[in-house]
Structure 1
Amino acid sequence: MLKVLLVEDEVYMRKGIIKLVDWNGRGFVIYREASNGQEALEILRKEHIDVVITDIKMPVMDGIELIRRISEEFENRPAVIIISGYNEFEFAKAAIRYGVNDYLLKPIDEAELIQTLERIKTRILNEREYHRRKNLFEYLKRNSRFMRMIEFDEVSTIEQFETNDTTRWMGIGKKEDLQYEDDLTICESLLEVEKEVNIKFANKGIDFRCYWDSFFNIILIIETEQKNKKNQVIRQVYEHVTKRLNLQSIVFDEIKSFQNIHSFYKQLLKKLSFAQFYEKIGVIEATQIEDFEMYIEDKKLGSELIKLIEERKCEEIRYKLSQFFDECHNKKISPEIIKGYILLTLLEVIDYFEVYQLFEADSLKFIYRSSLQKSKFIEKVMEILLQIAEYVTEATKFNSSSFMKKIELFIKENYNKDITIKSIAQQFYINPIYLGRMFKKHFNMPFNKYLHILRIEQAKKLLLKTDKKIYEIAKEVGYNDTDYFALKFEEYVGKSPSKYRSSMIGETNY
């Protein structure tokens, strides 16, 4: 709604104008009323008004003087509509010299008033949109310059920011939902916060700026006079922004020199990651977070988790994980090092149980989320480990000698057909990868080798007991390609099928 200040000394005239049109329906509201120019001026000095509708002849201060004062005192002037009689046209011309182009003659015509209001509304909204986009564009340029400096260490940009007259502080907080917003929405949100803080702390001698980087971190710069560098206002500002933007934490420190701003920014990011991972809440001075360790000595976590999964001790898996993370916290291990170590550990477990099919390409993507807290991180890791444990538990139901005898019998009855470990697994409702592992463990050889040996043994019997041709025997034992059969036969027996037949028959006759 556009706010209207109605200035008219005659009460009945004001009431008549108010009743003349549906103000709210037209996008306006009669926000305040005044009986003369002086009252109107006092209101304008205290409150934001979009449109002033004023009579010309009034006591104390007339409309012309009010318009003159508005043009001189206010940078962002409200739109003004003059109400004048026919005999006041000379006054109206004077008002036009002060930039007032909208006036109505008494008695006011409803249609003319509506037309004037619509024209003013269009002009105001167009101007607002123009300034909004201009401000957003300027903000984007400013943000781009600043990000080139801190992210890419651009020297020419650093020189623009370097100054010896002030002290500057940098605070960083994470706001992940920014990644789902477009750039203009982010700009509007941060500009609003920036304006709000500068108004709230206007008498504290600070200048506050908001930026955001490529990783959707909020960068908060506070500039103060040198003598105020230890002022508690710094913390108060960051506490206000933490609540305003709903941030878990902000880590801040004084910028000693813009020449080292890139490394300063990177170090502050690491400390923010540490604070978020270990669930430190609120505004934290960087000096409160000690330097982290960049190495994990214990390399046994993977083997210990594998053992617990094999023993189906799920609660102990959770305890082992919590214990590991607590030790990392006590030793102040960097979250990035922990995440890398956990990734390798999960890959070790997945590889050991050969459960690659359980996970999609992005199943481990959560590891790289910089703002994930320790407790949620542990839960994500537990989900994966429990999924593996559940799979292994189900699979071991089939891991018995009686079950493997069923598999063996099935193969012997179907060895001459086109069977694979996958088709057998489908027949018995078991995972093919796990069946392959069980088969190799039970028979001390992989399935393919077992099948070839079984077929070759049957072929040897047929070569000796029948006079069937080689290609007929090959097909009967499961080989559609005679050359391939001959190749595999020689590989396992040491001679071709024909030589084997002749040599064995010769020995028998002898």
Structure 2
Amino acid sequence: MYKVLIVDDEPLIREGLRTIVDWEELGFTVAGVASDGVDALAKLPQLQPDLLIIDIRMPGMNGLALMRSIREQFDPAPRFIVLSGHADFDYAREALLMRADGYILKPVDEDELSSALVSLKRTLDEQEGMDGKLSSLSWSLERTAVSLLTGEGQSPPKEALNALRFGGPPYDVVLIKLQSRGEVDAPTASHVKNRLFESFEASGKGVVFSLDPHLGLILAGRATESAANYREMKRICSDNGVDFTAVSGGAVERLEELRRSYRAAEEGMKLRFLLEGDHIYRAEEAMALMPADRETDRAFGEADGDKLLLALDIGSQEAAVLWILETGEAMRGAGMDEQDIKSVFAQLFTQALSKLERNRPEVREQCRAFASEVLKLYGEYRFSGLLARLTELAGKMADAFRSYGNDKQVQKMVELIRRNYAENLKLESLADVFGYNSSYLGKLFKSKMGESFNTYLDKVRIDRAKELLEQGMKVYQVAERVGYSNVDYFHGKFRKYVGVAPSAYRKK
């Protein structure tokens, strides 16, 4: 007797299927029932059914996702008969493309189910007679491909290898990563895989396989030409609302060398964040995007965000965009991975907004709204897309903050100093932000204010230091609060402008 597991979320249908046919007369026995896909996966190891009768629509994990999960986890996988309503034709079509053994409309007709079981029993008997679970019949093209690529599990028999020699050498492994700003769900991935099967495997161009988190193709002979293959992949993915990156491991002459091509494609795919996704990348082409002389000791901290803070404060989109591009390139040059790049950008942007909020209470709401927008950068799956999102965001920030300033450059500098005196302000940094030569900007400032930029900055800091000392704050705390990291240096500046030491002034 062949064992059957019935999977349906409707109790009446589960029990009805138990009695609708004489299972034993047809050579089957109902070993158990499951209420959904998760329940079925839990019962599968113990029951070890030969056949699953699956409802295509179930809450949580639907029938297609269950079939895909079983094929990935169990080898050999059981057979499948799919149940569906009239409205589920597209799902049913996908199930058949996933090699389901039958498709029956609800309500289930007794004769139709019996006929499907008789046909399936004949197939199972033939397979069993050839020691099916160990024979080449159980070696699908996908199973053979995965075995060769990973080197894991039982070695495929000669007959299975011969079936894989569909187009002759050379052979090439292409890995495909489905991508979206949101999560790519299992049904979408399954649909894409089935469409790839139609376009490549069914037409004899290649073998389609799944090796989480990638889909893949083994192409052979003339089918390894990548331009047409890329266009077909793009059409399929676009139809399903997802983007993708594809990396080729390179051509090999023998099936036994496929693992080398697969490993190379895996290494290239690790750099997918840097790839534009506009063609099928060769592995060596992807690897070449990572600088050989990486600045691995380059660290990014709060000081890296100072120029961004100044650019946003004066509403300079040009300076903010330049900072984004230069910082992004520096992170890429340091060999940082996708998550580190995103984390550093998020940290530097939120720090700049936090300081801006503290220094300019009138823009508090804008700063908090933009801080929430910054977090959306984590949805970007390409480096270029990340820079584009940050550039667009910086433009919106500059527009919002510019409206609060004065158009005169010197007045902007004065306001900037009064708001950010505690930061590491330098004339050279402001010159970059304002788009002027530092020497010219210094002369412009002195002509308008009657004293140099550094003198004016020191006086603003010392005036604030006097206020804090009068409040009873300790000298070293005041020094740090107004922007002097060296207490002795602060002593010298304070005595120069006030005439007494900070400690003496505090005692007055």
Pick the TM interval, shorter chain: 0.3 to 0.5
TM score, norm. by length of structure 1 = 0.39
TM score, norm. by length of structure 2 = 0.39
